[in-house]
Amino acid sequence: MGQDRLEEYRDRRSSTSPEPAGSSGPAGSGRPPVFVVQRHDASSLHFDLRLEIEGVLVSWAVPKGPSVDPSDKRLARRTEDHPLDYTDFEGRIDEGYGAGTVVVWDTGTYENLTEEDGRPRAAKDALDAGHLKVRLHGDKLSGAFALTHTRMGGDDGAWMLVKVDDEGADRRRRPTSTQNESVLSGRTNEDLEADPS
Q: Where are the domains of the chain?
A: 2-194
HSE (CB half, 13 Å, CA atoms) of 106? 23
Residue 1's pLDDT is: 39
Chain center to CA of 28: 19
Model pLDDT for residues 40-70, shown as the tens digit of each residue: 999 999 999 999 999 999 999 999 999 999 9
d(CA 73, CA 105): 20
Other C-beta atoms closer than 10 Å to the C-beta of 147 total 23
The pairing of strands 73-82 and 34-41 is unpaired
Model pLDDT for residues 83-122, shown as the tens digit of each residue: 999 999 999 988 877 789 999 999 999 999 999 989 999 9
Q: Percent of the chain, pLDDT > 90?
A: 73
Predicted TM-score (pTM) of this structure: 0.90
d(CA 139, CA 184): 10
d(CA 184, CA 76): 24
